[in-house]
Structure 1
């Protein structure tokens, strides 16, 4: 488990206690801290804590400012992501489909909230093996995000990566590879080399190289990805184990 993340969690818990005492639970800063805390718990794979924190936030937002606002929509997106990560796909799907319909009805389908919802829905479809649905939704999310925030946006990179993974799962490696490279470049530019996103995108790129029989190119990428993941995520994180497994398969293929 990453020490830095644990330190952030401790600080957030202390800040929550202070904010509740000084301003009360209905204050916007209290809600922001809850949102960040829920995402931190998910980052270190403590999904039950993430879900409970985000469910508390959802109730807080409903009582404090209602449901027709960006805070509530962001909370629902994070809640759905946490349910997906915890393997509760039905709950995640229900939240995202309802959210998609709600956003479309209230503010239309050409805004960042709608694009984010589509991207998260596409990622869920990727997880449950409905690859063509994932491809179609990612393409829509990419177009919306590009029009609003441009191609350097982190969420544009997220959708590119998921689109590439969908093509990869369908065996369409030639389509996947350029998308994965572009996604990796965006992560490197926006987050730098000492970030979990860099490690994950590099690991995905290494796996793609392995699938395309480019073992010599894939090996150093795997090794770098493992080193960064160990440093920023820790050895107990599921992605670290995935990288080690993929590296071992590469070594077998190399012989």
Structure 2
């Protein structure tokens, strides 16, 4: 297939700097029946009546008529919460969605695979990898049965499982699945993710053209003012950072930060990840006060989104500790 983004993007992380600095977690992909933006399943839908929609979805617990319509309504709510980075809020609905889908569809419908995929991605985003992996595998097998081995849905599930292997440090398995996915559908999502993987493996020369190809596709659709375009900018900046081109890294990250602020909002985890990355640039350049401000802003957002006990909060705290040590504040660094 050509340079089209058939299976649009979803979520992704960005770890800290120094030895762990990179372009972070690879993106998972969402449900093929929806147009998907970066950190979620909706194409930037905004619902002022979210509370009403939540109430409608909850009514299905006691009202089992029109279950298909109720599942669709709950799926939209879960997707909206996920898109906003509210993963903890999305999780109960995602669990319920799978239960209802199993009850309504049995074990051989594409809709069940979509629901399982949503739950797997939610666990993945929360860092609960042991819970996510069997669900990603189940979604992949269902899609093979329902859609065929060379379908876009199968390519999406391969991408998602590869992203999980990446986050678990299983780079060989991750690369194999990404390459198989690209054989089916050469889309921006998987090109981006393979670039993330090669970056993490130190294969910078192979990563750079993948990011540029993904940017070219995303420039055409969904456009520069999109979270998926900002995500690839973010990761290309990280590559320049690793190559010690700090001016280029800062420029790209500032561009990504502006897009993420407009598209996702300034309390979204993606916005925090770019703040963290800019803090890393200023740390390396010796601008410690500036670095500390960016890390503190990132930490406040991450605590609101994830709570105190989460890898991204720990990473930013580690970054702040590095700043404190560089300033000679050793007690505070501890």
What is the TM-score with the length of structure 2 in the denominator? 0.65
- Going from structure 1 to structure 2, the CA distance change for 1:188 and 1:30 (only over 3 Å counts) comes to farther
Corresponding position: 1:14 with 2:65? no
Gapped regions of structure 2 (runs ≥ 5):
1-42, 287-334
- Equivalent residue, structure 2, for 1:74: 114
- Equivalent residue, structure 2, for 1:115: 155
Give the one of 188, 213, 220 matched to 1:182: 213
Q: Which of structure 1's runs of 4+ aligned residues deviate more than 6 A?
A: none
Deviation of 1:122 after TM superposition, in Å, equals 0.5
Cα deviations by residue, 1:47-105 (Å, 9 ceiling, x for unpaired): 22212112222122222232311111111111111001111101110111233334445
Deviation of 1:129 after TM superposition, in Å, equals 1.4
What's the Cα RMSD here?
Answer: 2.6
Give the one of 82, 88, 91 matched to 1:51: 91
- CA distance in 2 between counterparts of 1:6 and 1:161 reads 21
SS of equivalent to 1:191: coil
Corresponding position: 1:191 with 2:222? yes
- Structure ranking higher on relative contact order (CA contacts 8 Å, 6+ apart): 2
CA contact 2:81–2:89 (8 Å) conserved in 1: yes
After superposition, residues 68-217 of structure 1 pair within 5 angstroms as 68-105=108-145, 107-146=147-186, 156-217=187-248
- Going from structure 1 to structure 2, the CA distance change for 1:55 and 1:223 (only over 3 Å counts) comes to same
Gapped regions of structure 1 (runs ≥ 5):
147-155
Q: More deviation in 54-63 or 156-165?
A: 54-63
- CA distance in 2 between counterparts of 1:35 and 1:105 reads 22
SS of equivalent to 1:227: helix
- Going from structure 1 to structure 2, the CA distance change for 1:138 and 1:186 (only over 3 Å counts) comes to same
- Equivalent residue, structure 1, for 2:251: 220
- Equivalent residue, structure 1, for 2:260: 229
- Equivalent residue, structure 2, for 1:62: 102
Which structure shows the higher helix fraction?
1
Q: More deviation in 126-135 or 24-33?
A: 24-33
- Going from structure 1 to structure 2, the CA distance change for 1:40 and 1:24 (only over 3 Å counts) comes to same
- CA distance in 2 between counterparts of 1:105 and 1:191 reads 30
- CA distance in 1 between counterparts of 2:123 and 2:221 reads 27
Deviation of 1:231 after TM superposition, in Å, equals 2.2
Deviation of 1:17 after TM superposition, in Å, equals 4.7
- Equivalent residue, structure 2, for 1:26: 66
- Going from structure 1 to structure 2, the CA distance change for 1:123 and 1:180 (only over 3 Å counts) comes to same
- Equivalent residue, structure 2, for 1:150: none
Q: More deviation in 220-229 or 58-67?
A: 58-67
SS of equivalent to 2:85: coil
What is the TM-score with the length of structure 1 in the denominator? 0.84
- CA distance in 1 between counterparts of 2:117 and 2:86 reads 17
